[in-house]
Amino acid sequence: MPTPPDPAVLYPDVAACGSLATALRAEAEGCLSAVPITSPGSAPLLHATVASTLPHREPLQISAWSHERRWSIRGTEPFQSMPLIDGRTDDLAEVARATRAWHDGAALNDIRQTASFVHLTGRFEVPDHDPTLLTESEWQSMRQEAGELEYAWQEMYQALIEAAHAEPALRALYPFTSHWALRFSTTTRPRLTVVGPSLTASSDGIYGVGRSIIGEDLSRCSTALEAVALAVRQLPAGLGPIALGG
């Protein structure tokens, strides 16, 4: 991999300000003057964080790319550290607008309206950490992600996610993925309690059900509905309501 250029070469305007935090303030023309934005001493041209007035939001992370002039953002919730918004743009003014909206506690949809580069992950905010709502939020994000993929097996993977979500016994469990294998937990993040089999979709038209992603125990099904039905039969009996992980 080629050595990245000096950040001052890619971002001379930021370098002139001394830090990304200061550059954002300058770009906002006074709109961020009272907003707490900081840049680390180790890489002040490449990173900045901005706190939110909402206690259920982590500080927005803003990062500059090292090989081309572009910025990325990531805004998470504190309990699971899962992203609510992300995005990338080459327009620092748009980053400044998103920064202000995140800090002010604007609704997620309103942040997207304020700065068009902002991508909503599908998760919604659960300030009281209700485990049922956290599970619903994660399913919503997973379904959205499946529809946005651009891989060859996107349609099969999306069919698998939708079939699993349509099954009440699986929808009641907290979903997560490992190497694109759909897994289930009886607790939310940050401490998952894995239960039942994994479900996979492959580009050769086969759905897998088993305790591992690959291996002799992997059952092969020709449809997503068949795979989901098999997964439900392999769930242990007596599963209680979803609980907070940690």
**End residue of a domain, out of 99, 120, 141:** 120
pLDDT for position 3: 85
pLDDT for position 109: 98
pLDDT for position 1: 66
Would 75 be classed as within a structural domain?
yes
The residue-averaged pLDDT of 217-244 equals 93
Pairwise CA distance, residues 238 & 214, whole Å: 28
Answer for the pair 103, 50: CB distance below 8 angstroms, yes or no: yes
Determine if the peptide bond prior to 190 is cis (ω within 30°).
yes
pLDDT digits (tens, 9 = 90+) for 114-126: 999 999 999 999 9
pLDDT for position 237: 94
* Mutual angle of helices 131-148 and 154-166, in 10-degree steps: 160
**DSSP character for 150?**
-
- Token reading at 121: 């992950």
Residues 65 and 98 reside in one and the same domain? yes
Residues 116 and 144 reside in one and the same domain? no
Residues 105 and 151 reside in one and the same domain? no
Would 126 be classed as within a structural domain?
no
Pairwise CA distance, residues 213 & 200, whole Å: 7
Q: Could you tell me which residue, 178 or 115, shows the higher pLDDT?
A: 115
pLDDT digits (tens, 9 = 90+) for 14-23: 999 999 999 9
Reply yes or no on whether the pLDDT at 213 is more than 80: no
pLDDT for position 141: 98
Give the range of the structural domain holding residue 152, as residue numbers without chain letter. 131-245
**DSSP character for 194?**
B
Residues 89 and 41 reside in one and the same domain? yes
Residues 19 and 97 reside in one and the same domain? yes
Residues 199 and 144 reside in one and the same domain? yes
Pairwise CA distance, residues 201 & 92, whole Å: 39
The residue-averaged pLDDT of 9-31 equals 96
Residues 80 and 178 reside in one and the same domain? no
Residues 103 and 136 reside in one and the same domain? no
**0.85 exceeded by pTM:** yes
Would 226 be classed as within a structural domain?
yes
